Chains A and B, each alone.
Chain A
Amino acid sequence: MLRYTLNRILLMIPTLLGVAVLVFLVLRVIPGDIVEVKLSAEGNIFTEEQIRAERERLGLADPLPTQFFRYMGGLLRGDLGISLWTERPVLEEIGGRIGLTVELAILSTLLAVIIAFPLGTLAALFRGSWLDYVIRVITIGGLAVPSFWLGMLIILALLLTVGTLPPLGTTSIFADPAVNLSQMIWPALSVGYRYSAVVARMLRSSILEVLAEDYVRTARAKGLAEKVVIVKHGMRNALLPTVTVIGLEFAFLLGGLVVTEQVFNINGIGKMFVEAVVLNDLTMLQGLVLVVATAFVVVNLLVDLLYAALDPRIRYQA
């Protein structure tokens, strides 16, 4: 297992390195120039000379290779440069806002799993019944409904029933968990719905597949209680593909957060990402993309490791 783990971690390095290089190269071709936007935003009239000076000051005038080595060198030291807009370190800016997004990601994953497990299991056990159909409609809906629309509907529903809108992200989870959760549960639900639908569908079909296996028939034939058959022989094996889907869907979750933070006006890194695009803030975009890609790669690594821990065949193959 240790060998497998090390192997997988080593494989991560070229991928992340590739991401870093690609992001740098791609972002250099961005049209438009933050310097002009910035100077005019301050309401000043500016000259060519000022633009040149500002570009020089921000290091944008250096030849590409110089910029590249400065960027890569910074990366190795854990330095993502300074934001071209606020001129504060990118890492600090992201660090200040990433907490909300991480909380939202964890909360919606938990919510998705909590919703998906009973739905998927029930649909598999009562296959073909009305219950299965109701659950199928719910899960198919989850794949089609845009999370930002669901968010708006939730806000609307809250307004019509409770009469107030939840103030969002204003209370830290460490200060007052109850208040924080009552605020964050709604955006988490609007992102988590899709997530839970995918997981529930996967769980249903893998349980059905496993229950058709020979060893399940054997377990039944030797007179084990149905509960034991389903939990010990069925669920356990059906969990494998489900775990993979949870990892794969994590990327969708991150994407969903970009939009949902906008709807609920949450100051996380999803909102930050859209702001950086609008402002042409190169270094900020670079940093955000790296953080998101790393998060995705790490989560998938964890999923692979979990998979290997659950299924010994995988580590022997590798």
Chain B
Amino acid sequence: MSVEAPVVTQIPAIDEPSEDRALPGIRPHRRSFLDFVRQQPLGTIGFVIVVVMFVAAIFADYVAPYAPEEVDFMASPALGGGQPSAEHLLGADAFGRDILSRLIFGARTALSVGFISAFLGCSLGAVIGTISAFAGGKVDIIIQRFIDIMLSFPIIVLAIIVIAVMPKHVVLGIDINLIVAISIPFIPKVARVIRSAALTIVTLPYIDAARAAGYTSNRIVFRHILPNVVAPYLIMLTAYIGQAILLEASLSFLGLGVVEPTPSWGLMLSGVNADYYLIAPWTIIFPGLAISLAVFAFNMSGDSLRDWLDPKLKL
């Protein structure tokens, strides 16, 4: 896998063993892609699903049998149609739109919102956590109090508050306020974990050395501490992409996230789209499966990455 070298330098358990010249003939243990597949079967499945989703999202125009907004009125369950068939593999929704196509285009929404907001939230959280650990003293206490306050809101409640507060803003078809709403609840959680990881690094001699060499705090934080908390950062990032997708689906389901006609998995389960689910179960079964599968894939990737990079780490 690509996540290898820079991540692991300070954690002895996962250091790549140096070649032992005293024992000629014995090949040093190298951890390869195949080892990963063998040791982390669930993680591998997760990564494969993630890759498939990305490919489908990027090439949605070529993969999807129909355009996401294309309406085939006769296929609406309201008129008794829309069953999964050769024409519509996974059936059609209340407007007679092809569910498979909407799922494929919905992957774009899920992945872009999920990825960008998890990235934003985790990165900001990592920077805040590192600064908190490095600064110590009053700054640390104030930041920690603030984090305590943020943590006393359930994730979705915090996200809904942000949505209520921020004016709607769409750039390049991406909902900026939705992304901010999803990323903010992650910040305190990530900051907590990264702070404790950074605390152990702050006490290491090379930080003292950097201080003695007269480096600025900025430089020490960004060049010497942050690169060493990449392992927990990456692990949380992967896991939080799943959470972000789930959150986007929940918010869209509540009518507070993505709006029609943009295809979104959560939206497919709500409002008019789901009105006929009791007579046309396929309208909700497949979108729900898509959400679950995506969240499962990212959770598994995160878990296996954790076991692979740092078996001792507990998040």
Contacts and interface: CB of A to CB of B under 8 A. Distances in A.
Chains A and B belong together in one complex: yes
Interface of A: 14-16, 18-19, 22-23, 26-27, 29-31, 140-141, 143-146, 148-149, 152-153, 155-156, 159, 251-252, 254-255, 258-259, 262, 273-274, 277-278, 280, 285, 289, 292-293, 296-297
A18 to B, nearest CB: 4
12 contacts: A15-B149, A140-B296, A146-B253, A252-B155, A255-B154, A255-B156, A258-B160, A274-B160, A274-B256, A277-B164, A280-B164, A289-B161
A155 B284 CA distance: 12
Contact of B254 (A141, A143, A252, A262): A262
A197 B281 CA distance: 26
B149 A18 contact: yes
Interface stretch (B4-12, B29-37, B131-139, B286-294): B286-294
Interface of B: 42, 145-146, 148-149, 151-157, 160-161, 163-167, 242, 246, 249-250, 253-256, 266, 269, 274, 277-278, 281, 284-285, 287-288, 291-293, 295-296, 299-300
Nearest to B166: A31
Contacts of A15: 145, 148-149, 152
Nearest to A29: B165
Contacts of B285: 153
A205 to B, nearest CB: 9
Contacts of B269: 148-149, 152
A274 B160 CA distance: 8
Contacts of A146: 246, 249-250, 253, 266, 288, 291-292, 295
A30 B164 CA distance: 6
A144 B299 contact: yes
Contacts of A293: 152-153
Residue from A19, A148, A289 having most chain B Cβ neighbours under 10 A: A148
Given A146-B250, A156-B277, A19 B293 contact: no
Residue from A143, A252, A254 having most chain B Cβ neighbours under 10 A: A143
Contacts of A155: 278
A258 B161 contact: no
A274 B250 CA distance: 12
B296 to A, nearest CB: 4
Contacts of B246: 144, 146
A144 B293 contact: yes
A126 B63 CA distance: 44
A18 B154 contact: no
Given A149-B292, A152-B288, A153-B288, A254 B157 contact: yes
Nearest to A148: B253
- Give the 8 A-B residue pairs with the shortest CB-CB distance, closest first: A149-B288, A255-B156, A255-B154, A144-B296, A144-B295, A18-B149, A251-B154, A254-B154
Nearest to B266: A146
Given A152-B284, A259-B254, A292-B157, A141 B292 contact: yes
Residue from A29, A277, A278 having most chain B Cβ neighbours under 10 A: A277
Contacts of A140: 42, 296, 299-300
Contacts of A292: 153-154, 157
Given A146-B288, A273-B157, A18 B146 contact: yes
Nearest to B298: A144
